[in-house]
Amino acid sequence: MFFQLSLAILLLHLVDGNYFRTNSRRDDQCFCKLKGSIDDCTCNVDTVDYFNNMKIYPRIQSLLVRDYFRFYKINLKQDCPFWADDSKCAIRYCHVLPCQDDDIPEGLKGDVPRNIHLNESPVDKYRPNAQQLTNCRHSAKDHNIELGYLNTTISMENYKEFERWQRHDDAQDNFCVKESSPGEYVDLLLNPERYTGYKGVSAHRIWRSIYMENCFRPENSPHIFIQSSKMNGMCLEKRVFYRVISGLHASINIHLCSKYLLVSQDGLRASSDDNQWGPNLEELQRRFSSETTGGEGPIWLKNLYFTYLLQLRALAKAAPYLEREGYYTGNKVDDEDTRLAMNNILSIVKSFPEHFNETVMFTGGTQAQLLKEEFRQHFRNISRIMDCVGCEKCKLWGKLQIQGLGTALKILFSGKFDRWEPTLNNLNRKLFFLERSEIVALVNAFGRLSESIFELDRFRRMMR
Classify burial at 388, counting beta carbons within 10 Å of its beta carbon; exposed 0-12, middle 13-18, buried 19 or more. buried
- The response to whether 180 counts as a known ligand-binding position is no
Task: Give Cα separations from 449 to 39, 222, 401, 442, 463 (angstroms).
Answer: 17, 29, 9, 11, 21
- The response to whether 114 counts as a known ligand-binding position is no
Task: Give Cα separations from 271 to 275, 306, 394, 407 (angstroms).
Answer: 7, 36, 19, 37
Q: Does 394 qualify as catalytic in the annotation? A: yes
- The response to whether 307 counts as a known ligand-binding position is no
Residue count (the chain): 464
d(CA 106, CA 223): 50
Q: Which residues is 278 bridged to in the sheet?
A: 260
Classify burial at 81, counting beta carbons within 10 Å of its beta carbon; exposed 0-12, middle 13-18, buried 19 or more. exposed
* Dihedral angle over CA of 113, 118, 119, 124, nearest 10: 160
- The response to whether 194 counts as a known ligand-binding position is yes
Q: Which of 41, 99, 215, 391 is catalytic?
A: 391
d(CA 299, CA 304): 9
Q: Does 391 qualify as catalytic in the annotation? A: yes
Q: Which residues is 277 bridged to in the sheet?
A: 261
Query: Could you give the angle at the alpha carbon of 199 between the alpha carbons of 194 and 203, nearest 5°?
Result: 100
Among all residues, which ones are annotated catalytic? 391, 394
Binding residues for FAD: 194, 196, 207, 246, 249, 287
Binding residues: 194, 196, 207, 246, 249, 287
